[in-house]
Each structure stands twice: as C-alpha cells, then as structure tokens.
Structure 1
Amino acid sequence: MEGFDPAINYGPNDAGISALTIVLGIIGLIAISWIFGKIYEQLAKLFEANKKNES
C-alpha cells in the first residue's frame, strides 16, 4: 500500500480559495468603501444645501 502524498493528490485550488480571490476581495472591499464614502459625501452636501435654502 502506497503512502498518501498531499502534494500529488491535491492541486493548488483544492483549498477552495486562491491568492487571486483574496486579492480581488480586498480590492473589492476598498472600492465598495470608497464608493460608499463618495455617496455619503454627496448626500451630506445635498442636505447641507437644503438646510441653507430653508434658513
């Protein structure tokens, strides 16, 4: 009976997640955070403009 060698029996993608997936996930989180910040900034400017017009 042969011994079990993980290097032969498992490939690089058998772990379910690759380095590319991790990098894309991190970039995605940064991009989503940046977009959320821009939307928040625009809404804050809009509400500030409305507040000045009401006074």
Structure 2
Amino acid sequence: MADEKPEKLAPIKLIRDTWVGEERIKADGTVINMPAKDARRLIEAGVAERADPLPGE
C-alpha cells in the first residue's frame, strides 16, 4: 500500500462561471476550495482569484 498524501486544496473566488466536469460552478462571490493545481490553472486563465488571507490576517 503506497503512502498517498491528500491533495492540497487552495481557496479561490471565481470571477466568471466555470465547469468542473459536468457541474457548473457559478461565480457568486463564494470562496471555494479546489485542488491546488486546478486552482492555479483557473487563476492563470483569469477565471478566479486567490482567496487566502494576507499575512497577519
């Protein structure tokens, strides 16, 4: 049995609606957690922005 690490999640806020598989996720201002690699892809595409707190918050 291999040691599998849980996938790291990143909080993001969608700027535009997007699809995850067959599920539509609306950009309603809600912060959602997505796998870090998917979150990075959406941020780079301009579909989402980071939603993690700034240092000291």
Where on the TM-score scale, by shorter chain, does this alignment land: which range?
Answer: under 0.3
Higher strand share: 2
Question: As a proportion of its length, which structure holds more helix?
Answer: 1
* Bigger RCO of structures 1 and 2 (CA < 8 A, at least 6 apart): 2
TM-score with structure 2 setting the length: 0.27
Computing the radius of gyration over CA atoms, which structure comes out larger, 1 or 2?
Answer: 1
> Structure 1-normalised TM-score?
0.27
